[in-house]
């Protein structure tokens, strides 16, 4: 009996010690290691999310763990264009869309624009029409493709097919819209915004993530019924003086996800290769020609032997193979997830449609200057400020419209966003890592990049570009102007002295498409196309940066 009592006593003591230890551990994370003061007190003081564990995977994305690989290692160079040289690069971990952006996803975007900015109103018409894909890309002088012209974008038969006819500029605007919608949803779920407030927006009450972070009282046009809901899950603190904190979400709350964007060329190629399936400890054993394993485009497994692993043009006049036998299941694009994913779980990284990436095209990749998250296309901006120091929020009267080289009119900003301006000397003075707003032409092989170049009288224009004419990228310069009646006047460049099609408005696209031969399925291959034009074989998918740890495996063993 005494033994039983003794054991019960020891058990109570053990439980008490454990509970005390847990309480101490729990309270220690809410105590500053810098000052010793308590964090997150209801009475006020420093507030911080000490319970944050890991970035939540946003809708549509899969995690890609970063690492080192050889970029630009093409298996064949039958074009002899010498625009790729193998360079070792390191990529930070990131997220990428599991599939290409589909017609249904893009039509959801168009539906939003049509509801918020009715095209029936003249002041908003260009916002909606500027986002519409070019369905005429399906037309061919000697082919009958009107069925795709009329149906491909909107008919539910093509709902899960990748969207095409979208320019690089339109793809970027889609990513921006998607970022705001996902952030808005996260804020609603956490109680910072009124539930279903996204269904109430109009042109005067729109949501912008940047505006909410920098000027939350101006989000939704200053509508506090939305930004300060009566019923929410927020942990609002009130100090002794009656000052509130925790009313609005900030970056330190961990609630607002990073933005969707186009992947860089380096990220896209790394993700497409899926090198993890040939990794052996800390080495890659062998080389990969395609996103899948092996050197062939047909499946080698017993169950699916002979099936094509992607849809592409197999030869002249052969877009799918012989029906019922070697058919790849598609003659144009195909529904996403029709073929097996690569080792990262990404579908259609070869075939279906080629994809826009973020980079401005240059045949030279300067790995000697940077081999970490390589990207060419940086144009640094900052928030425009009013005279009183507050951020300048765009209104309906401040919308800037731009006429592209093909005559199409698009909106460069939307109501509710913060106006952006180029950075100036306040950010660049005596810096060693950047010296101007526009960095597109940095070390790109032109005269300015040469060793003996002197930048005397090399003034930077308002757009951040150098005033010097670059002979290496001497592309045609077509002009779009308007006459006194507002009609578009197109002036073609008649010069015979142009030496290139490369300029600062051509973007890289990667991967083979339904219209390409097998040669282009190699993820290392690269091509370029004007950023304001579209085709029937280029689509896109989005990416998102990873915040925090490189790996999701917290107990990962080191090699």
DSSP per-residue codes, 164-175: -S--HHHHHHHH
CA 453 – CA 375 distance, rounded (Å): 24
Four-CA torsion 547, 552, 554, 556, nearest 10 degrees: -130
Sheet arrangement for strand 506-510: 526-530, 506-510, 354-360, 538-539
Kindly give the confidence (pLDDT) of every residue in the chain, 559 residues in length, as a single tens digit, with 9 standing for 90 and above: 555 555 566 665 555 555 555 544 455 788 999 999 998 887 778 888 888 889 999 999 999 999 999 998 887 776 666 678 889 999 999 999 999 999 999 999 999 999 999 999 988 999 999 999 999 999 999 999 999 999 999 999 999 999 999 999 999 999 999 999 999 999 999 999 999 989 988 898 999 999 999 999 999 999 999 998 876 666 777 776 777 777 899 998 999 999 999 999 999 999 999 877 666 566 666 667 788 877 778 776 766 676 777 899 888 988 887 777 667 888 999 999 999 999 999 999 999 999 999 999 998 887 788 999 999 999 999 999 999 999 999 998 889 888 888 888 889 899 999 999 999 999 999 999 999 999 998 888 776 666 555 555 454 444 444 444 455 678 888 888 877 777 878 888 888 888 788 889 999 999 999 999 988 999 999 999 999 999 999 999 999 999 999 988 665 555 5
Of the candidates 433, 94, 401, the one whose C-alpha atom is nearest the C-alpha of residue 258 is 94
The confidence score (pLDDT) of residue 314 equals 86
CA 418 – CA 218 distance, rounded (Å): 10
Q: Which residue shows structure tokens 């105590």?
A: 31
Pairing of strands 488-491, 479-482: antiparallel
Q: Which residue shows structure tokens 């081999």?
A: 371
This prediction has a pTM of 0.89
SS3 68: strand
The confidence score (pLDDT) of residue 19 equals 53
The confidence score (pLDDT) of residue 73 equals 86
The answer to whether the beta carbons of residues 338 and 353 sit under 8 Å apart is no
Beta strands in 428-533 (DSSP E): 479-482, 488-491, 506-510, 526-530
Q: In the structure encoding, which two tokens stand for residue 63, read together? A: 């995690």
Of the candidates 359, 362, 356, 357, the one whose C-alpha atom is nearest the C-alpha of residue 501 is 362
Q: How many CA atoms lie less than 13 Å away from 103 in the CB half-sphere?
A: 20
Q: How many CA atoms lie less than 13 Å away from 502 in the CB half-sphere?
A: 21
Rg of the chain over Cα atoms, rounded to whole angstroms, equals 27
Q: DSSP letter at 257?
A: P
Go through the domains of the chain in sequence order and give each one's CATH number. Answer: 53-190+255-377+505-554 (3.90.1580.10), 471-503 (no CATH)
The answer to whether the beta carbons of residues 323 and 138 sit under 8 Å apart is no
How many angstroms separate the most distant Cα atoms in the chain?
107
Q: Which residue shows structure tokens 């890289």?
A: 508
The confidence score (pLDDT) of residue 450 equals 60
**Residue 25 main-chain phi, psi, to 5 deg:** -65, -40
Burial class from Cβ neighbours inside 10 Å (0-12, 13-18, 19+) for residue 6 reads exposed
The answer to whether the beta carbons of residues 345 and 62 sit under 8 Å apart is yes
Other Cβ atoms closer than 10 A to 292: 22
The confidence score (pLDDT) of residue 290 equals 83
Pairing of strands 87-91, 244-245: unpaired
DSSP string across 321-337:
-STTTT--S-SS---TT
């Amino acid at each position: 009996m005494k033994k039983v009592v003794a054991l019960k006593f020891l058990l109570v003591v053990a439980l008490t010690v454990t509970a005390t230890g847990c309480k101490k551990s729990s309270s220690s994370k809410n105590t500053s290691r810098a000052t010793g003061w308590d964090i997150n007190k209801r009475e006020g003081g420093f507030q911080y999310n000490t319970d944050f564990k890991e970035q939540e995977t946003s809708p549509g994305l899969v995690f890609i763990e970063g690492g080192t690989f050889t970029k630009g290692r093409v298996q064949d160079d039958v074009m002899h264009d010498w625009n790729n040289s193998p360079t070792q690069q390191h990529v930070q971990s990131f997220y990428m869309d599991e599939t290409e952006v589909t017609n249904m996803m893009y039509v959801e975007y168009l539906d939003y624009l049509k509801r918020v900015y009715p095209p029936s109103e003249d002041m908003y018409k260009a916002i909606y029409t500027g986002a519409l894909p070019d369905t005429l890309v399906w037309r061919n002088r000697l082919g009958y493709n009107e069925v795709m012209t009329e149906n491909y974008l909107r008919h539910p038969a093509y709902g899960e097919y990748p969207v095409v006819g979208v320019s690089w500029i339109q793809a970027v605007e889609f990513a921006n819209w998607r970022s705001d919608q996902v952030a808005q949803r996260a804020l609603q779920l956490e109680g910072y915004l009124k539930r279903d407030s996204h269904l109430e927006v109009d042109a005067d009450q729109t949501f912008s993530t940047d505006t909410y972070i920098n000027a939350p009282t101006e989000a939704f046009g200053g509508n506090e019924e939305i930004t300060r809901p009566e019923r929410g899950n927020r942990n609002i603190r009130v100090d002794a003086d009656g000052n509130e904190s925790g009313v609005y979400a900030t970056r330190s709350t961990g609630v607002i996800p990073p933005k969707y964007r186009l992947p860089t060329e380096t990220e896209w190629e790394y993700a497409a290769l899926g090198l993890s399936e040939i990794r052996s400890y800390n080495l890659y054993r062998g080389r990969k020609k395609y996103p899948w394993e092996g050197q062939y485009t047909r499946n080698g497994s017993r169950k699916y032997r002979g099936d094509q692993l992607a849809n592409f043009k197999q030869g002249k006049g052969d877009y799918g193979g012989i029906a019922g036998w070697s058919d790849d299941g598609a003659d144009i694009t195909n529904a996403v997830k029709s073929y097996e994913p690569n080792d990262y779980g990404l579908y259609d990284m070869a075939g279906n449609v080629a994809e826009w990436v973020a980079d401005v095209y240059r045949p030279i990749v300067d790995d000697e200057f940077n081999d970490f998250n390589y990207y060419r296309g940086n144009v640094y901006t900052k928030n425009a400020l009013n005279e009183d120091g507050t951020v300048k929020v765009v209104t309906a009267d401040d919308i800037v419209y731009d006429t592209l080289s093909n005559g199409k009119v698009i909106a460069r900003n939307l109501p509710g966003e913060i106006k952006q301006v180029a950075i100036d000397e306040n950010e660049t003075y005596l810096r060693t890592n950047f010296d101007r707003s526009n960095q597109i032409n940095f070390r790109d092989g032109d005269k300015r990049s040469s060793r003996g170049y002197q930048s005397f009288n090399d003034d930077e224009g308002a757009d951040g570009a150098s005033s010097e004419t670059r002979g290496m990228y001497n592309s045609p310069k077509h002009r779009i102007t308007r006459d006194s009646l507002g009609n578009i006047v197109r002036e073609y460049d008649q010069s015979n002295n142009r030496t290139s099609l490369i300029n600062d408005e051509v973007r890289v696209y990667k991967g083979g498409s339904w219209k390409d031969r097998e040669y282009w399925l190699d993820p290392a291959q690269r091509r370029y196309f004007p950023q304001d034009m579209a085709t029937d074989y280029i689509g896109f998918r989005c990416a998102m940066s990873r915040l925090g740890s490189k790996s999701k495996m917290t107990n990962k063993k080191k090699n």
